Chain A
């Protein structure tokens, strides 16, 4: 969506709320559907028919197609949407996906009270990729204040069981977050702590619906809602802002000039429409608090398009940004962050919606309080706990696009620990012997185990194993034997044959052609490897490269020691296929090429070279492209490995730096949440014709930052105009993509800080 804050050029809607069930099994006393002015639910069918679903989906797809929308969001809502039952839910989701997805990406979500969430329902949610947000008002006492059944029984335990289900690994990715309605009579810290105990991926706080005719409850204070929320904000900040909280993130984002990401605040167009169970188009649900019939448009999906809804006067006003606000709001210094609050909260019987919010004083105090907190102390700048744990110096060095040996060494240590825990996780499925050997080597020669488990493709293997252990897990024997060799221990284990060889990570391979019914057994004595392969016996001197023993092709350069990896059976985890085993002339050619490329890296990117000495361990040759185009790749689960097809040394230097940037950022992404992984939008970038997902854009931006820097150094050294032009191209791609990233609602506070660090690097070039 690209619209100015002063009004849309072409009004489009991207978010649709489908009321698939209009009744609810709870009787919350603050519910805007049943307990406020609008009583239209009484006149509607309880469930949305398949005909309405089909027509609604067709309207949404029609609108997406006409306006070239790449994604739309549909929120299944109620009443309680899960009252439709799992079978009907599946039918609804299937219909929506079948109709909308050929046109646009569908982000399908649900807001539920959780009472009907069973394992059977979770299976449907998983099959249909429906993310679900749960409503919960905090601890038991706070939740029971409003969220009860009609017989006054508590819903608390039932909802906690639903949240327990969503935390299970099988469903965790469907857990969208918790929505909490504020009641200032509750203890804010008790509420916050209870919500955090549910390990939500994100939270949001909702002000209870009110208007100037039905003003908010204000016990004992002029701005109790601001005070209540600021108490949570301070605690959340002190905790390191461990999860996104939409209300606070919105104020922080708009304070930096970003977008609000919520219809409750800011000047983003409220591009939402509601479809009721009978197919009626309605405006935002919250308008039900104003007067009976307030959300009505008189339009329905069978007769009217989404364009008709977008042009409806009241909807158009909500899409009009600053121009749609009253004079008081337009003159307010925090209007760009507040945006007049939720449209429904502006209502007064005398003059409709041409007012500030009934929460005006609270919103202003909350926004000013958060702005002051961010600018007056170090808390706003350095309060992401994982950043503090990683070490601010490491984060800032790597975040700027560089990272010396100490910083990259810190990432490598964390990556080793991740590999250890992955190996420990899959070891339970391993044949006996390997795990015990690994533990024994670790006791007597821990550095040997560290050296082997730091090999990039050990993690790649463990990840494969975790997802499908059959036929893979036996490789743990090879890992344990490699540790034993390095540690000088004697051991004997069967080792799986891959292709026509056995491979010991970090050491090399033994070629063992020929059919066999059982795997060969390898045993080690100091400096020797003994092979028993059926009736065949041989002893290999590990220090002497001689058929059939092929030691790993180590390359020792000025400060950099790595392996040209042509044998590891788990190296095929890059985007492009690896070459087969190299013969000696090919290995020699790689050594020469890498030596020249490394000298270029040292000259053109010395700050990158410092980090590469601590983290780059493997270069994996790729099959060359048939059309001669350059190929290179990193792999998310192979820290320290860069894969590249043969090319000239100049290009190889650039590709090594480029891919090692991905390696570094991948390591950071493992441990720090930089963005909302459920964000469905795609982002336009200069280096690709098609828009890209957030993680890809972050990766491309981070890589191009280093490449721009490298070409800047080349241009300055040589005065070459072509080098200068290449520098400018990469720099402009980077700055443009950073701006596009910043404009999304997808970045976490850590993500915002990462962009700020990258921006500081670009600023230093001016």
Chain B
């Protein structure tokens, strides 16, 4: 498993590529990087991982 997170510049291409694969064929390295970016185990200290947004109305 990789220790790096997926940068935005590579993310969409990786998602598109993996979308064509069966669940058990998605490269583990991609899964680790993508999941670390989208849902890190520890939420980022600011902004990035806002779990919910209170309507401003």
Contacts and interface: CB of A to CB of B under 8 A. Distances in A.
Interface of A: 129, 164, 167-170, 172-173, 199, 239-240, 242-243, 384-386, 389-390, 413-414, 416-418, 420-425, 438-439, 442-443, 449, 462-463, 466-467, 573-576, 630-637, 654-655, 658-659, 662, 666, 670-673, 675, 677-680, 687-688, 693-696, 699-700, 703-704, 707, 750
Contacts of A389: 12-13, 16
B35 A438 contact: no
B22 to A, nearest CB: 6
Which 8 pairs show the lowest CB-CB distances between chains A and B?
Answer: A242-B9, A389-B12, A677-B48, A575-B52, A632-B55, A385-B9, A695-B47, A575-B54
A413 B15 CA distance: 9
B18 A417 contact: yes
A246 to B, nearest CB: 17
A418 B38 contact: yes
Contact of B56 (A390, A467, A576, A687): A687
Contact of A693 (B7, B30, B46, B55): B46
Contact of B57 (A243, A420, A632, A677): A632
Interface in B1-41: 3-5, 7-13, 15-16, 18-19, 22-24, 26, 30-32, 34-36, 38-41
Contacts of A173: 40, 42, 44-45
A129 B45 contact: yes
B25 to A, nearest CB: 10
Contacts of B10: 242, 385
A257 B32 CA distance: 40
Given A678-B46, A693-B46, A694-B47, A417 B19 contact: yes
Contacts of B52: 573-575, 633-636
A439 B25 CA distance: 10
15 contacts: A129-B45, A168-B3, A173-B42, A173-B44, A240-B9, A389-B13, A414-B19, A418-B34, A421-B15, A467-B41, A633-B53, A633-B55, A636-B50, A695-B47, A704-B56
A463 B39 contact: yes
A631 B55 contact: yes
A172 B40 contact: yes
A421 B11 contact: no
Contacts of A416: 19
A421 B35 contact: yes
Given A199-B7, A386-B8, A169 B44 contact: no
Given A696-B50, A699-B53, 19 more contacts: A168-B3, A172-B36, A199-B4, A239-B9, A389-B12, A413-B19, A421-B18, A424-B26, A442-B23, A467-B39, A575-B53, A575-B55, A655-B55, A662-B53, A673-B8, A677-B46, A677-B47, A677-B48, A695-B50
A452 to B, nearest CB: 12
A201 to B, nearest CB: 8
Q: Is the interface of A mostly helix, strand, loop or mixed?
A: helix
A693 B47 CA distance: 7
Interface residues of B, number: 43
Contacts of A637: 39, 51
A747 to B, nearest CB: 12
Contacts of A678: 46
A636 B44 CA distance: 14
B3 A700 contact: no
A573 B51 contact: yes
Contacts of B49: 636
Nearest to A201: B7
Nearest to A453: B23
A669 to B, nearest CB: 8
B14 to A, nearest CB: 9
Contacts of A688: 56
Given A425-B32, A687-B56, A169 B9 contact: no
Contacts of B31: 421, 424-425
A671 B15 CA distance: 10
B42 A170 contact: yes
Contacts of B32: 425
A172 B2 CA distance: 13
A636 B5 contact: no
Nearest to B41: A467
Contacts of B38: 418, 422, 670
Given A240-B9, A679-B47, A417 B41 contact: no
Given A243-B7, A389-B12, A672-B8, A421 B26 contact: yes
Nearest to A165: B3
A421 B55 contact: no
Nearest to A644: B55
B24 A439 contact: yes
B40 A696 contact: no
A636 B54 CA distance: 11
Given A172-B5, A173-B45, A240-B9, A633 B19 contact: no
A172 B44 CA distance: 9
A442 B25 CA distance: 12
B13 to A, nearest CB: 5
Contacts of B48: 677, 695
A606 to B, nearest CB: 21
A413 B50 CA distance: 22
A319 to B, nearest CB: 27
Contacts of A630: 55, 57
A167 B4 contact: yes
Contacts of B53: 575, 633-636, 662, 666, 696, 699
A683 to B, nearest CB: 11
Contacts of B19: 413-414, 416-417, 420
A636 B51 contact: yes
Contacts of B41: 169, 466-467
Nearest to A167: B4
A442 B8 contact: no
B47 A164 contact: no
B40 to A, nearest CB: 6
A654 to B, nearest CB: 7
A675 B47 contact: yes
Nearest to A750: B8
B5 A169 contact: yes
B47 to A, nearest CB: 4
Contacts of B26: 420-421, 424
A677 B43 CA distance: 12
Which of A129, A417, A671, A680 gathers the greatest number of chain B CB atoms within 10 Å? A417
Q: Which of B8, B38, B44 has the most CB of A within 10 A?
A: B8
A439 B12 contact: no
